[in-house]
Copies of this chain bind each other. A is one copy, B any other.
Amino acid sequence: MTTLIASAARKLARGGKRRICFPLTNRAYYGRSQLLIRKLHAHPEIELELMLGGSILLDKYSQHIADDIEAGGFTISASLFNVIEGGNHVAMAKTACLTALEFTNGLHAINPDVVIICGDRFEQLAIAMAAAYLNLTVAHIEGGDVTGSIDESVRHAITKLAHIHFVTNEDARRRVLAMGEDPGYVFNTGSLDVELAARVDTVLAGDRVNSHGVGHAVDISQPFLMVIQHPVTSERDNREHLETTLRAVAMLDMPTLWFWPNPDAGTAEMAESLRHFREQHGAATEKMRFITNVPADEFVAMLRQAACLIGNSSAGIKECSFLGTPVVNIGGRQQGRLAADHVVQVGYDSEAIRSAVVAQLRHGRYAASHIYYQPEASQAIVDVLAGAELYTQKRFHEPANH
């Protein structure tokens, strides 16, 4: 199976280093992986190659990422524009396929020893598939959780393509083992997001907050809300669900930082509904600021200081478990995910959302939970990636009790 030299990169002497490729396709993953990326880059036995694709190349925050990357001296092996417009299922599926096609070329050229796959986004499964087909070792971060949306299928399918598993909690570890993975390669390292949340001590300044996004200035000296509500690809009423939340938040009449959803299937109609609501209920949005993205440390600072987080983001389940921020989680997107006491679950119902928030505000902050927390998550991952014996042929490990 020799082929012509794919690129100069393949020929580089590695000097005994392990070459690790980290495909970054989403600003959220970049944000939460900063500690990991820095430690991989600094490791004397590791040669780190970052590959960029997907939506990370499209938003303005990318400039920030590019600056970070340059400042860090990291190598970017490829930048691949492969997001297909449409904001619907077809565009999402085709984006995944095109991403896989292009990363195949990139991975073939780089020929890494390990490819890191993060989380449960649709394009990450596509890259995992490409990597597995290239007979490369795949390391997966954040497997074994259960949630709703297509993420639920994506996450477990990645698990079954991956060789090394970094899970964030014991429930997840149990599930990954039940699915037949090798116990010697399943590591509960805790969550990178929570490790970052625990380390960040950035304090929010009002001016800085209002330098992000569009809409009205928000007074963060007052108790304020954060909203992050992503589309749920397996549901058909995303637009209606968003409007339900908009109505609830309008009723609460508090300063609100509203984060724009991910560019997934369903985004187009959510964007439409946000715009529509702003036009129809201008007054109701007078205390809202709409933000696309902020640096990871500022995001943590916002989470820490918010009076309540509303929506369906994993940050509500994970980071907030440690930070103690009250959370009102809406709908099925996080369905089944291990959650601490700080989370109140509600359905798509304006009044239910409103009253749950009121109750959470009354309760105030929670004690820190450590269900997702280990102090050295990133270091634990690096240690395994640097030292574990690598393999490619998977075998189904029957749990011991069978």
> Hey, which bits of chain A sit against chain B, CB under 8 A?
1, 3-8, 52, 57-58, 62, 65-66, 69-70, 75-94, 96-98, 100-102, 104-105, 108-109, 122, 125-126, 129-130, 132-135, 146, 148-150, 152-154, 156-161, 174-175, 178-180, 233-236, 238, 265-266, 268-269, 332, 335-336, 392-396, 398-399, 401-402
Contacts and interface: CB of A to CB of B under 8 A. Distances in A.
B100 A97 contact: yes
Contact of A85 (B85, B104, B160): B85
A84 B81 CA distance: 7
Nearest to A57: B4
B129 A96 contact: yes
Contact of A394 (B66, B89, B152): B152
Copies of this protein in the complex:
4
A222 B234 CA distance: 51
A396 to B, nearest CB: 4
A105 B97 CA distance: 11
Contact of A1 (B69, B88, B132, B392): B88
A349 to B, nearest CB: 19
8 contacts: A5-B76, A7-B78, A79-B108, A81-B88, A98-B98, A156-B160, A156-B396, A157-B158
Given A3-B86, A5-B76, A75-B8, A104 B100 contact: no
Contacts of A238: 1
B133 A92 contact: yes
Contacts of A62: 4
A3 B101 contact: no
A396 B132 CA distance: 24
A123 to B, nearest CB: 10
A66 B94 CA distance: 22
A392 B235 CA distance: 9
Given A81-B85, A93-B104, A133-B233, 13 more contacts: A6-B78, A82-B94, A92-B133, A93-B134, A97-B100, A98-B98, A98-B101, A122-B133, A133-B150, A160-B160, A175-B396, A178-B399, A179-B180
